[in-house]
Amino acid sequence: MFNPANKRLAVHRKSERKVMWWTVLVIGGIHLAALLALDPAYFSRSGLLLGVILYFVAGMLGITMCFHRLLTHRSFQTYKWMEYFLTYCGVLALQSGPMQWVAQHRIHHKEADDEPDPHSPLVTFIWAHMGWLFLTTPDCHTYEEYRRFAKDLDRDPVQRFFDHNFFLIWVSFAAVVYLAGELYGGLGASWLVWGVLVRQVALWHATWFVNSATHLWGYRNYKTDEESTNNWWVALLAFGEGWHNNHHADQRSAAHGQRWFEVDITYYLIRLFGAAGLAWSINEPSKRVVARRKDIMVDEEALRAADERHDVPVAGVLRTQTDPTIPVVVPQMPSAAEAYEAALKAAGEAKEAAARALHYAAEALKHKQQGAIEAADQAAKELLERAKDLGMAAVEQAKYAAAQAAEFSTQASAFATDAKERAAESARQFAEKSRNLAQEAFETASRAADEVGEAFQGIGRPIITSSI
Ligand SMILES: [Zn+2]
Ligand SMILES: [Zn+2]
C-alpha cells in the first residue's frame, strides 16, 4: 500500500486559481438541504425507493457506464440514441456537463499523481475528495479550454447541448420528481428530499471516493507509474470503479474488476447490454497487461523476462500516463495495398515523432547535468518544463500514430483473409509487411516513452495540450 508521507504535491498553479462561488453555493446548499432527511416528517418508503433507484440510474448508467467507460475511454460501443439516453442519466448526477467531466478525467489519467493532476490526494485527502471542485482547474475551466481534451464530443451537437445545459436539466428533473410525488399522494417534499437531495449527496461522495480513497488505500495488482489502488468498499459504493489500479493499468478495458473477487457490476451491466444487442466491441483487459499482474507474475525474474520480451525496460513499471485514452479511428481502405501504404505512412509519422521525443529528452539531460534543478535557475527550469511538455506531446503523437499503423495492418490482414486465389498471396504479403511496420512503430514509441520518462524524472510538468 502507498504511504502518502513519501510524496507530497502542491496545488498546481495555485496563485492563478479562483474560487467558484456558484459551485460552493450549490454543493453546500444541497448538503444542507439534505439534512431535512433527519426530520421523520419527510420520510416515505416510496421516496426512499426512488432514491435507491435514481442512485443506480444516475450513478451506474450515467456516470460509471456512460461518462467514464463509454465517453471518456470508449471501452464499448452502442447506438447513438442509447449514448444520449445514458448521457441524460449522467447529467442527473450533477457532476458538471459530459464534456468537462471527460476532459478532466482524461487529464487525470495523463498526469495522474503529478502536479497537474486535477485531483491527486498527494496534495491532501480533502483536496482530492472535494476541495478541487471549488477552484478553477487550470487549462480546463472555460469551454474553449476543456473542449481540447474532448474533441470527439465537441463534434456532436447533442453532447454540446448536454454540456451547456446540465444544470438546467438537473433542476427541471428535480421539479418533475416533486410534481410526480405530489400527484402520487402529496409526497412531493418527501420525494424531493430522498429521491433528489439525499441521493445526490450520497452519489457525490461515492464518486469522490474514487478520486481520493483509490489513490491512497487498498492493494495494487499492477506496478503503475502513479499511486492508484484497488479498494473493495469503493468498488461496492461506486459500482466497480474501486478497482482503480486495474483501470489505470488498462484504461480501455470495459472490465475494471479482473480477479474472481473483484466484483464490478458496471461491467456485468455492459455485458448484459451486449447480450441484448445494445452494446458491442466490448474491450476485455489486454493480455499483455494482465501478464504483468502481480498475482500472476509473482517471480521478479519472470517479470524481468516479460519486460524484455515486451521491450519495457524500466524496472517493471507500467507507464500509463501518456497512453492515448481516446480510441484510434482510421478510415476503411479499399484494398490491402492501400492499407499497407497507410500503415507505412502512420509508422513513418510514429518514428518521426519518437525521434522528436528523444531529441527533447537529450536536451533535458544536457540541462540536468548542468545542475539546473538544484540551482533552481528559473530560466533553465522553464526551458526544462517546455522540453518536457514537447517531449511528452511527441511521445503521445508517436503512440497514436503507432496505434493507427496497427489498425491499418488489421485491415490489411482482413483483406488477406478474404482474398481469393491469385490476389491472396500479394494481400498476405502486404498484411505481413504492415504488421511488421506497426510493431516497429510501437516499439520505437515505447522506447521513446521510457527514455523521455527517465530523462524528465523529477521535473514538474505543465499540462500538455492534447495533440489528438
Ligand atoms: Zn485515478
Ligand atoms: Zn478512467
CB-CB neighbours of 15 under 10 Å = 5
Query: From the CA of 181, how far away is ligand 2's center (Å)?
Result: 36
Query: From the CA of 51, how far away is ligand 1's center (Å)?
Result: 27
When pLDDT is cut at 50, 70 and 90, the band that residue 38 belongs to is: very high
**Ligand minimally distant from the alpha carbon of residue 128:** 1
pLDDT at 198: 98
**Ligand minimally distant from the alpha carbon of residue 121:** 1
Phi, psi of 230 (to 5 degrees): -100, 130
pLDDT digits (tens, 9 = 90+) for 87-145: 999 999 999 999 999 999 988 988 888 888 999 999 999 999 999 999 999 888 999 88
Domain count, the chain: 2
Query: From the CA of 417, how far away is ligand 2's center (Å)?
Result: 35
Query: From the CA of 271, how far away is ligand 2's center (Å)?
Result: 19
In the chain, what percentage of residues exceed pLDDT 70? 84
Q: If 0-12 CB within 10 Å is exposed, 13-18 middle and 19+ buried, where does residue 30 land? A: middle
235 with 98, same domain: the answer is yes
376 with 269, same domain: the answer is no
Residue 312 pLDDT > 50, yes or no? no
CB-CB neighbours of 40 under 10 Å = 6
Query: From the CA of 153, how far away is ligand 1's center (Å)?
Result: 21
194 with 50, same domain: the answer is yes
Helix segments in 73-198, DSSP class H: 80-91, 98-111, 125-129, 143-146, 151-154, 157-164, 166-185, 188-191
Helix segments in 264-377, DSSP class H: 265-275, 287-290, 300-310, 336-369, 372-375
Instruction: Report the alpha-carbon distance of residue 241 to residue 437 in Å, rounded.
Output: 36
Of residues 353 and 191, the one with the higher pLDDT is: 191
Query: From the CA of 109, how far away is ligand 2's center (Å)?
Result: 7
pLDDT at 6: 62
pLDDT at 113: 87
What is the enclosing helix (H) or strand (E) of 433?
helix 421-455
pLDDT at 357: 81
Of residues 465 and 27, the one with the higher pLDDT is: 27
Which of 343, 340, 333, 322 is CA-nearest to residue 468? 322
Residue 165 pLDDT > 50, yes or no? yes
Report the range of poorest mean pLDDT among 80-84, 166-170, 300-304, 379-383: 300-304
**Ligand minimally distant from the alpha carbon of residue 245:** 1
Query: From the CA of 74, how far away is ligand 2's center (Å)?
Result: 10
Residue 323 pLDDT > 60, yes or no? no
In a domain, 291, yes or no: no
Instruction: Report the alpha-carbon distance of residue 406 to residue 257 in Å, rounded.
Output: 27
Of residues 310 and 166, the one with the higher pLDDT is: 166
247 with 355, same domain: the answer is no
In a domain, 311, yes or no: no
| Domain boundary residue, one of 254, 280, 306 | 280
**Ligand minimally distant from the alpha carbon of residue 325:** 2
Residue 459 pLDDT > 70, yes or no? no
Query: From the CA of 181, how far away is ligand 1's center (Å)?
Result: 38
Residue 467 pLDDT > 50, yes or no? no
Residue 444 pLDDT > 70, yes or no? yes
In a domain, 461, yes or no: no
136 with 24, same domain: the answer is yes
pLDDT at 466: 38
352 with 248, same domain: the answer is no
Domain that includes residue 368, residue range: 336-455
Residue 77 pLDDT > 80, yes or no? yes
359 with 234, same domain: the answer is no
| Domain boundary residue, one of 280, 302, 326 | 280
141 with 232, same domain: the answer is yes
pLDDT at 348: 87
Query: From the CA of 377, how far away is ligand 1's center (Å)?
Result: 33
pLDDT at 419: 66
Query: From the CA of 228, how far away is ligand 1's center (Å)?
Result: 6
65 with 136, same domain: the answer is yes
Report the range of poorest mean pLDDT among 251-255, 327-331, 347-351: 327-331
CB-CB neighbours of 393 under 10 Å = 20
In a domain, 240, yes or no: yes
**Ligand minimally distant from the alpha carbon of residue 250:** 2
In a domain, 415, yes or no: yes
In a domain, 255, yes or no: yes
List, in order, residues 6 or more apart from 466 with CB less than 8 Å away: 106, 110, 148, 149, 151, 396
When pLDDT is cut at 50, 70 and 90, the band that residue 403 belongs to is: confident
pLDDT at 174: 98
Judge contact between 41 and 179, C-beta under 8 A. no
Query: From the CA of 449, how far away is ligand 2's center (Å)?
Result: 20
11 with 94, same domain: the answer is yes
List, in order, residues 6 or more apart from 305 with CB less than 8 Å away: none
pLDDT at 343: 85
Residue 375 pLDDT > 80, yes or no? no
Give the CA dihedral 369, 371, 377, 379, nearest 10 degrees: 0
Query: From the CA of 79, how far away is ligand 1's center (Å)?
Result: 28
Query: From the CA of 124, how far away is ligand 1's center (Å)?
Result: 15
| Domain boundary residue, one of 257, 280, 303 | 280
Query: From the CA of 393, how far away is ligand 2's center (Å)?
Result: 20
Which of 167, 164, 182, 48 is CA-nearest to residue 99? 164
Instruction: Report the alpha-carbon distance of residue 30 to residue 199 in Å, rounded.
Output: 10
Judge contact between 116 and 12, C-beta under 8 A. yes
**Ligand minimally distant from the alpha carbon of residue 113:** 1
Q: What is the mean pLDDT of the chain?
A: 85
pLDDT digits (tens, 9 = 90+) for 266-297: 999 999 999 999 999 898 887 767 777 877 75
Residue 373 pLDDT > 60, yes or no? no
In a domain, 303, yes or no: no
276 with 340, same domain: the answer is no
276 with 348, same domain: the answer is no
For ion ligand 1, residues whose CB falls within 5 Å: 228
In a domain, 289, yes or no: no
